[in-house]
C-alpha cells in the first residue's frame, strides 16, 4: 500500500505536535507518534516517562490508547514516529506488539527526526514473525 504524500505529511505534523508535549525528564528523548486508522482518523500520543522505570508510556502506546478511548478498537493503516534524536526511532519491541494487536495487513511504519526525511517499512517487515489473537484461537478453557 502506498500512502499519499499528503497523508504522510499530515501524520508527520500530528506526531511532531504530540512530540512537543512529551514528558521525558529522565531520558531527555522526546517522541511523538501518530496512527492512521482504516476509517481515516488520526490519533497521536507522546512518551510519558516515570521515575519508577519501566512505568512510563511510549508515544505509540499513548496514541493507541487515545484511539481506543475515543472510538474503540480499530485497524491501523499507518504509524508515524517522530523524535528529536540524531537517528529515527523505530517502535520498540513492546510497541511493535501493541501495534500488531490493531495492525491492518497493509500497515506501514514511518519514522523521522525533526528535520529529516521519513524512513518507511511495511509493518510485516518490522515484525515478521508476530504473535497475535489468531495464535490463541482454540485455547480457551
CA–CA distance, 138 with 106 (Å, rounded to integer)? 26
Is 49 one of the catalytic residues? no
| Grid cell at residue 117 | 526525511
Digit-coded pLDDT (tens) for 10-62: 999 999 999 999 999 999 999 999 999 999 999 999 999 999 988 999 999 99
- Mean pLDDT value across the chain: 94
Torsion of CA 10, 16, 22, 25, to 10 degrees: 160
In a domain, 141, yes or no: no
Report the CATH number that the domain containing residue 52 is assigned in CATH. Answer: 3.40.140.10
In a domain, 13, yes or no: yes
Domain count, the chain: 1
Burial grade of 48 (CB within 10 A; 0-12, 13-18, 19 or more): middle
pLDDT at 141 exceeding the cut of 70: no
Check 60, 101, 119, 137 and give the catalytic one: 60
In a domain, 15, yes or no: yes
CA–CA distance, 13 with 59 (Å, rounded to integer)? 14
In a domain, 73, yes or no: yes
Domain that residue 46 falls in:
5-136
State the pTM of this model. 0.93
Amino acid at each position: 500500500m502506498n500512502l499519499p504524500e499528503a497523508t504522510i505529511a499530515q501524520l508527520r505534523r500530528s506526531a511532531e505536535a504530540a512530540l512537543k508535549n512529551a514528558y521525558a525528564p529522565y531520558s531527555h528523548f522526546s517522541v511523538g507518534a501518530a496512527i492512521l486508522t482504516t476509517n481515516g482518523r488520526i490519533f497521536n500520543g507522546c512518551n510519558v516517562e516515570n521515575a519508577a522505570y519501566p512505568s512510563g508510556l511510549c508515544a505509540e502506546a499513548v496514541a493507541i490508547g487515545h484511539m481506543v478511548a475515543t472510538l474503540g478498537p480499530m485497524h491501523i493503516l499507518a504509524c508515524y514516529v517522530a523524535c528529536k534524536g540524531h537517528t529515527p526511532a523505530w517502535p520498540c519491541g513492546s510497541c511493535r506488539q501493541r501495534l500488531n494487536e490493531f495492525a491492518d495487513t497493509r500497515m506501514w511504519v514511518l519514522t523521522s527526526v525533526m528535520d529529516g526525511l521519513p524512513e518507511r517499512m511495511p509493518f510485516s517487515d518490522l515484525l515478521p514473525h508476530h504473535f497475535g489473537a489468531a495464535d490463541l484461537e482454540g485455547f480457551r478453557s
